[in-house]
Amino acid sequence: MPPSNQILTVAQMQAAEQALIDGGETVSTLMETAGRGAADWVWRVAAHRPVTVLCGPGNNGGDGYVIARVLQERGLTVRVIAPFEPKTEAAKAARAAWGGETVEEASGGVFVDCLFGSGLTRALDDDLCARLCTLSQAHELSIAVDLPSGVDADGGELLNDILPIYHLTVALGAWKFAHWMMPAMEIMGELRLVDIGVAHSDEVASAAERPHLYAPDRDAHKYSRGLLGVIGGEMPGASMLSAVAAMHGGAGYVKLFSSHEVGAPAELVVEQESLSALLTDERLVAVLIGPGLGRDADAHARLAWTLGCDIPTVCDADALHLLEPVMVEGRSAPLIITPHAGELAALGNAFGTVGLDRIDEICELAEAIEGVVVAKGPDTIIAAAGEPPTIMPPAPSWLSTAGTGDVLAGLIASQLAVGSCRAVQVARNGCWLHREAARLAGPAFTAGTLIDSIPEAYGTFL
């Protein structure tokens, strides 16, 4: 994983900066590197328009003074607004090096928010928040440096009810969780990262890397590519969506177990014999259970039986409301669960992870099931037992329609049946295919048209 994919907490970022200082850097040299890198992005966006920089009292404000100096040296008109005097020695030095006179108000061109950075944990006071919003509205474009002021870096919460909408956020040193998590992500616009030399670590969270998938071997056949069983239930439409999606997701053979008469495509095998016959087929590589399963006693029994067979399994939808700790005890085969927010809450009650913040809850749940959790949503987070979490880049918001979760479950299960990588990478692969298919499908698609885009999406990863 390249350093640019790392996502650090505030404490981790502070430790990383201290490591750089211990290695010979100073706060001022790091500020110069960060400020110059941010200035490059502001310069590109400004396109010779005037720039207004709002500087706070700390080192984020110091970055702002560096930006102002660099842009002035390049010939731009720069106005600096400073509601506070700089408090840190590095910020004081940066202001002195800038050497200009501050102004009280400015409008037009590009607004750069360097008021507060990643260390902020409480809301801006009303007057300061109003001033921030007014300045943003008075300019054509707004850029946040490191983070928008008024955002909690570790949790992604907005600390004020109303904050500006930015066109660009320039992260400094490393990504923070707020860059990839809702609701903060919604106000940040485009994201760019300035490298200041932070060392790579395998022990921290990361943004998911785009995968490389492979075509089948020359001598492949349907069973060597993986037989996937999809277990249906009360509502056959959902399991049908999952099964059809899975047929495009890499597996060589998909069987749908359903006791209902379903209008399946000719190439999908629908099994109406006993569930035990399906699960004891030695050629079966993976199972998906949950979409359309129902929540009655029969559904509970199907889930318990399936998990008890200790086959690589994806659990989604209704299965997540029925899942109990006893069902996963003693399993050794990979288990992937794909909860949305409501299902995550139900799992939290069942597995005792209620009361934790979202990242911690997802990671603790992965430990509890000794598997992989795909907490899906506008900021999909993937956690595996014993590993730091990864966060998917945002997907098109058109995915917020019925049935797309069933499609995602089918894609993940299909990749699990392929069997070419670890379960956590299987989950990432499925999420990337889902995201890319949504991008290619365009606006206002249905789950069915999303499935139609999967083959082209798959091709972009080969």
Tokens of 277: 């016959």
Q: Please tell me the predicted confidence (pLDDT) of residue 269.
A: 86
Residue 397 DSSP code: G
Mean model confidence pLDDT for the chain: 96
**Mean pLDDT within 300-306:** 96
Q: How far is CA 251 from the centre of its chain?
A: 25
Domain 3-9+24-204 top-level CATH class: alpha beta
CA 140 from chain centre, in angstroms, equals 29
How many percent of the chain have pLDDT more than 90? 92
Give dist(CA 63, CA 103) in Å, integer. Answer: 18
Q: Closest Cα to residue 250, out of 376, 449, 410?
A: 410
CA atoms of 367 and 374, how far apart (whole Å): 13
Measured between alpha carbons, how far apart are the two ends of the chain, in Å? 20
List 255's β-bridge partners, or say none.
229, 269
pLDDT digits (tens, 9 = 90+) for 310-319: 999 999 999 9
Q: For 373-396, how does the pLDDT look when each residue is reduced to its tens digit (9 = 90+)?
A: 999 999 999 999 999 999 999 999
DSSP string, 209-237: PPP---PPPTT--TTTT-EEEEE--S-HH
- Amino acid identity of 248? H
Q: Does the structure show a pLDDT above 90 at 231? A: yes
63-118 pLDDT tens trace:
999 999 999 999 999 999 999 999 999 999 999 999 999 999 999 999 999 999 89
Angle of helix 341-351 versus helix 358-369 axis, rounded to 10: 60
Contact by Cβ (8 Å): 137, 105: no
Q: Does domain 227-459 have CATH number 3.40.1190.20?
A: yes
**Whether the predicted pLDDT of 322 surpasses 90:** yes
* Position 45 pLDDT exceeds 50: yes
Least Cα distance to 313 among 224, 234, 412, 243 occurs for: 412
User: What tokens appear for 410 in the block?
Assistant: 């089918």
Q: What are phi and psi of 323, to 5 degrees?
A: -65, 135
CA distance 359 to 206: 12
Question: Cα torsion for 449, 451, 456, 461, to the nearest 10°?
Answer: 140
Could you state, in order of their start, the residue ranges of all structural domains in the chain? 3-9+24-204, 227-459
CA gap 178, 176 in Å, rounded: 5
Half-sphere exposure (Cβ direction) of 37: Cα atoms closer than 13 Å: 20
**To which residue do tokens 């395998």 refer?**
202
pLDDT of residue 1: 42
pLDDT of 2 strictly over 90: no
**Cα–Cα distance for residue pair 143/148, rounded to 1 Å:** 8
| Residue range 393-420: mean pLDDT, rounded | 97
The rounded distance, in Å, linking the Cα atoms of 222 and 400 is 33
Of 353, 293, 364, 304, give the one whose Cα is nearest residue 330: 304
Cα–Cα nearest to 314, from 345, 290, 292: 290
Segment 40-64 mean pLDDT: 98
At 152-182, the pLDDT tens digits run 999 999 999 999 999 999 999 999 999 999 9
Confidence of residue 208 (pLDDT cuts 50, 70, 90): very high
Comparing CA positions, the residue from 382, 362, 363, 367 lying closest to residue 428 is 382
Burial class (CB in 10 A: 0-12, 13-18, 19+), 36: middle
Neighbours of 92 (CB within 10 A): 15
The band of 276, judged by pLDDT with boundaries at 50, 70 and 90, is confident
Residue 278: per-residue pLDDT: 84
Kind of pairing, strands 110-114 and 390-391? unpaired
Closest to 188 in 3D by CA, of 209, 161, 170, 206: 170
Percent of the chain with pLDDT over 70: 99
The position carrying tokens 């990864």 is 390
In which band, very low, low, confident or very high, does the pLDDT at 272 lie, cut at 50, 70 and 90? confident
Q: What does the buried/exposed string (b/e) look like for 101-134 if buried means 16 or more CB atoms within 10 Å of the residue's CB? A: eeeeebeebbbbbbbbbbebeeebeeebbebbbe
289's CB contacts (< 8 A; 6+ apart) are 230, 231, 302, 303, 306, 313, 314, 315, 316, 319
Residue found under tokens 């492949």: 220
| Alpha carbons 168 and 63: distance in angstroms, whole number | 16
Look up residue 446 and give its amino acid: T
